[in-house]
Amino acid sequence: MIKAIYPGTFDPITIGHLDVIKRAAKTYDKLIVAIMENKNKSCTFTKQERIKMIKKCVKNIKNIEVIAGEGLTIDVAKKNNCKVIVRGIRAVSDYESELALATANMDLNPNIETVFFVAKPELSFLSSSIAKEIASFGGKIDNYIPSSIISEVSKKLYK
């Protein structure tokens, strides 16, 4: 059985994240979606809110587990017996930063591979930051956020 982990802040989960989750769930026997801390980001939603939203979005996908991870992704992957770290890439700028992370993870644990899922062209512009900005001004976020959580995201962000 091959287990993979898809780490991210998911603040909130976007349609692009969900696309990577669905594709990775088809590729691996089990996929762990891990909500991780990023010291460079200030999150709008609590870890528990993000877990709840992700679970709502993936409730019909049987081989997914959603967790809150602590520390380094590579350590969370090892602790959960994952052989693969899944990452999504939207643009060249994502590739450059993801390559640096993948290389560091390879150095820390050469037994865990990083696999990149390239965003579908129509989803390559999506980001949680853009969705939050639009929602904060009452804009329509249907093309950014899964429909099952739009009301939760809008309610928290629209002032």
Q: Which range marks the domain in which residue 112 is found? A: 3-124
Q: Find how far residue 155's CA is from the centre of its chain.
A: 21
* pLDDT digits 0-9 by tens, 74-92: 999 999 999 999 999 998 8
Query: Does the residue 64 lie in any domain?
Result: yes
The answer to whether 80 and 50 have CB atoms below 8 angstroms apart is no
42 is catalytic: no
The DSSP call for residue 120 is P
Q: Quick check: helix, strand or coil at residue 32?
A: strand
Q: Decide if 17 is catalytic.
A: yes
Question: Of the listed 17, 47, 50, 87, which one is catalytic?
Answer: 17
Q: Which strands form 113-118's sheet, in the order they lie side by side?
A: 64-68, 30-35, 3-8, 84-89, 113-118
Active site residue 151: no
- What pLDDT sits at residue 87? 97
Q: What is the CA radius of gyration of the chain?
A: 15
Is residue 141 in some structural domain?
A: no
Whether residue 110 lies inside any domain: the answer is: yes
Alpha-carbon distance 21 to 117, whole Å?
Answer: 10
- Assign residue 51 the CATH number of its domain: 3.40.50.620
Q: Looking at the domain assignment, is residue 71 inside a domain? A: yes
Active site residue 41: yes
> pLDDT, tens digit, for every residue of 105-149?
999 999 999 999 999 989 888 899 999 999 989 899 999 999 999
Residue 150 within a domain: no
94 found inside a domain: yes
Query: What span, in angstroms and rounded, lies between the C-alpha atoms of 88 and 108?
Result: 21
Give the pTM.
0.94
Specify the pLDDT at position 13.
97
Token readout for 73 is 């992704």
Among the listed residues 90, 120, 127, 154, the single catalytic one is 90
Within a domain: 87:
yes
* Catalytic entry in 26, 41, 55, 59: 41
Active-site residue, selected from the candidate residues 47, 87, 128, 132: 128
**By mean pLDDT, which of 1-10, 19-28, 71-80, 127-136 is the weakest?**
127-136
Q: How many domains would you assign to the chain?
A: 1
Residue 46, sorted as left (phi over 0), alpha (psi -120 to 50) or beta, turns out to be beta
Asked if residue 129 belongs to a domain, the reply is no
Strand partners, 15: none
